[in-house]
Chain A
Amino acid sequence: MSDLKQLTMLQLVVVFISSMIGIGIILMPRDLAKTVDSQDLWLSIIFGAIAVSVVSCIYVALAVRYPGLTFFEMTTTIMGKIIGYVFNFLFAAYSLIVAAYILRVTAGIIKNYLLDTTPLYVVVGTFLLVSMYLIYNGAGDIVRFFQLYFPIMLVMFIVLCLLSIKNLDINNVRPILQNNIWATISGAKITFFSFLGMELLLIFAKLIKKKKTKHLLVTMWTSIGLTALIYVVFHIISIGVLGVEELKEITFPTIEMAKSIEFQGFFFERFELIFIFGWLTTAFTSFTAYMYALTLGLKNMFTPSRWFLPIAGALIFALTLFPEGLTEVFHYSTYIQLISVAAIVVLPALLLIVSLIRGNTYAT
């Protein structure tokens, strides 16, 4: 297994953006349109980003106080063995649920747009196997994979945005701030979850080169800022192309937007393929990040750690095939959000508070 000894700041930004942008970019427009119900909905993303930036300070504080440790090692150091074990279990369960959720939605979209007659377990299983192969090669390779695909993904999104400009109706976006500002702010409770992925700082923390608070904060905020920028651009274009009313009705608005691009006289008249490739990459990267967190958690909790990767795969596989259809999956999403808040806000906050009270830091 080849492993990177240390991550540079740029690599860390790439890892965070790749983990954050995932299924959110497909699902968020509809949820937002339903909640906010105005063309201001992209402002909610900025509020969400601000909220996430505040939360990320907890992670930075933990990462600086306990350099070289992952979340799963911090818990036992801070809370003692038993409570630490409970914390680890909760975090691993959270990673499992999020990974399964990402995979289920991804597979649903693949089935919907590309392979309508292929059985779900085939789509899920192949995706899972490829991801397991990457995780088997170690954290260093995961980071390099993210790095390799990051520019490709970025170029595809930029191409898609540029191509969509033709279809954009600026009147759909205007006027700004006509609506109730509180509705817009309350949209942040949806957008907050599309920034899930920054908590992986607690997982990748042990690979980080510069452990100064300043550097880490800059990295976190840069990645959150860039992700927010990508989201905002996408939402403005989605609203501009489809309009708020339509956004509420369509299940996967972003793909529909890509579908509406038409360029006569070019070999491919339809561009959703480009989008699906770019997006599948991001879904793959965020799924892999969570599955890596899960395997790391299992490795920490159970002693015979040789089988942790297949076990993680089997767990995700089972959980992914559990819901009947996508509607049922979306039905669970409220619970998933609750669990997420517990795992990524409450647990780290508790850790930080106890750590501050006890005043123990990891000796460097």
Chain B
Amino acid sequence: MDQTLDIDQILREKQKNHHVTIKKLDLENHPVHVIYIPAITDTKQVQDAILLPLQEWNHKESPLPHAFSAEPLLQLEKKNDIDRYLLDGYTLLFEQKTVYAVDTSRFAYRSIQEPVSEMTLRGSRDGFIESLEQNVALLRVHLRTTDLKFEEFTVGTRSFTNISIAYVDHSVNEELLKDVRARINAVQEDYIPDGGVMEQLLEKNNYSLFPEIQETERPTKVSSALVEGKVAIFVEGSPSVLLAPTTLNSLFQQADDYNFKWIPASLIRLLRFMAAFLSVMLPSVYISLISYHHGLIPTDLAISIAKTREGVPIPSFMEALIMQLTIETLREAGIRLPKPIGPAVSIVGAIVLGEAAVTAGIVSPLMVIVVSFAAICSFTIADYALSLALRTISFVMLFAAAFLGIYGLILAVFVVSIHLIHLQSFSVPYLEPFAPFYVKRWKDSLIRFKLKKGGGRIE
């Protein structure tokens, strides 16, 4: 593309687009074109800060930038830049062969709200929104240090998406920063609609179920991650901020853990790990016990299980599979339904699928208990990407249990742990404080040890 600016051609091009406003000011035979997109521009500001000063300006006395004292004026040199700044809500001034840009952007955004997907009991309730600038401002509220640094990137070949990475100097590892920069620069996509897409484009292990990058809408989560030395990636137009690197351990942590006293907080955290484990293993352990190893169940229990299974026409594996699939369907339906109809799903689920299926003798009541308890356990996993991974694995476990019983389950657990040991998120081992084994870092893993008083920061 021709890099020299052909003003007339650009003007002709822009005139075809009805959403672009072009104002031609004839300032004593010295034409200046003012171009902006009204939809994303604060027109009052254009009036007050650009058009008014221009009227008073005399081109013979001073150069154009002198007319603007309040607004910083950028001089653009490339045609690409012209489009980009115009689309970012800037107002462009064409004066003969030079182009200036003034920031007058006013995009439509919602106001700051509490994030819906990450609930906490205590602590700040602000959540990120779709505006990059606002998100940075929110982060600045929680993290007031000059060490907080930002770097800007633009990705997308068809539609520009502004991306900004944030880190705290001296905490962050230089290698990590280099890696993040390289991965962002390597993105070659037409269009990045949201943070989740960016996340997948930055990940290395595309066949892994586990998220390599954590996503959050909470500024406090980002600020504490940055202090720990992580890098945050803000994507314009997305309320989810990406945190890298991520470990399995950090996906289980919640802001609430730090807001309560350490003993109950640690117990809750242990409970969360237990629940995650049960959500994956419980249905498969149950079916392997009743279809392969009756001998391992206590006699009384075995008898009552046998009684409840009386008249159930399908094998227990199929029964578990059907129930698991039903719960997944219910969950998916619950997410997609509009809020007023939401409760209807739970009623249908509870009455039709639980109560009636048991009465009709299609499933055994114990299976309903096992599968629904596993589902409740999986609700404790706050990170949705992790929860998806674990739910997928729980199906794999079902198959392993159906084919090889407890032995198959143990082997499947081995396979998952071998995968997790191998997995790395930005060169950090995914199972970080456990394998490799760093006892010092256990203080904030399965449990949350008491906060250090007197200036120490939580590692």
Contacts and interface: CB of A to CB of B under 8 A. Distances in A.
Nearest to B412: A130
Given A114-B406, A147-B437, A273-B296, A126 B411 contact: yes
Interface string B146-168: 00000000000000000000000
Contact of B434 (A148, A268, A276): A148
5 contacts: A115-B404, A115-B405, A134-B418, A268-B298, A273-B406
Nearest to A149: B417
B292 A130 contact: no
B405 to A, nearest CB: 6
Interface string B417-457: 11001101000010100111100000000000000000000
A147 B436 CA distance: 7
A11 B436 CA distance: 9
Interface in A114-164: 114-115, 118, 122-123, 126-127, 130, 133-134, 137, 141, 144-145, 147-149
Contacts of B436: 144, 147
Contacts of A115: 292, 404-405, 407
A133 B418 contact: yes
B298 A114 contact: no
Size range of the chain A interface in the assembly: 20 to 34
B434 to A, nearest CB: 6
B107 interface: no
Given A137-B421, A144-B436, 6 more contacts: A2-B422, A10-B437, A115-B407, A130-B411, A141-B422, A273-B296
A269 interface: yes
B354 interface: no
B87 to A, nearest CB: 43
Contacts of B404: 115, 118, 122-123, 126
A141 B418 contact: yes
B295 interface: yes
Interface of B: 292-293, 295-296, 298, 301, 404-408, 410-411, 414-415, 417-418, 421-422, 424, 429, 431, 434-437
A280 B412 CA distance: 13
Contacts, number: 75
B287 to A, nearest CB: 14
A269 B298 contact: yes
B291 to A, nearest CB: 11
Nearest to B400: A126
A284 interface: yes
Contacts of A123: 404, 407
Contacts of B431: 144, 148
Contacts of A145: 417-418, 421, 435
Interface of A: 2, 10-11, 110, 114-115, 118, 122-123, 126-127, 130, 133-134, 137, 141, 144-145, 147-149, 267-270, 272-273, 276-277, 280-281, 284
B278 to A, nearest CB: 13
A130 B418 contact: yes
B447 to A, nearest CB: 15
A127 B437 contact: no
B305 to A, nearest CB: 12
A118 B405 CA distance: 10
Contacts of A122: 404
A280 B421 contact: no
Contacts of A126: 404, 407-408, 411
A280 to B, nearest CB: 6
**Main SS class of interface, B:** helix
A127 to B, nearest CB: 7
A231 to B, nearest CB: 23
A269 to B, nearest CB: 4
B436 to A, nearest CB: 6
Contacts of A273: 293, 296, 406
A130 B301 CA distance: 34
Closest 6 CB pairs of A and B: A148-B435, A144-B435, A269-B298, A137-B422, A144-B421, A134-B418
Q: Of B292, B298, B431, which is in contact with the most chain A CB atoms at under 10 Å from its CB?
A: B298
A127 B404 CA distance: 11
A14 to B, nearest CB: 8
A127 B429 CA distance: 25
A114 B436 CA distance: 32
Contacts of B298: 267-270
B417 to A, nearest CB: 6
A147 B435 contact: yes
B407 A148 contact: no
Contacts of A134: 414, 418
Contacts of A280: 407, 410
Contact of A127 (B292, B293, B411): B411
A264 B369 CA distance: 23
Contacts of A133: 415, 418
A272 to B, nearest CB: 8
A118 to B, nearest CB: 7
Contacts of B410: 277, 280-281
A133 B435 CA distance: 17
A130 B296 contact: no
A273 B405 CA distance: 12
B431 to A, nearest CB: 7
Contacts of A147: 435-437
Contacts of A284: 414
A273 B409 CA distance: 12
Nearest to B409: A277
B121 to A, nearest CB: 32
B425 to A, nearest CB: 13
Q: Of B417, B421, B424, B431, which is in contact with the most chain A CB atoms at under 10 Å from its CB?
A: B421
A114 B405 contact: yes
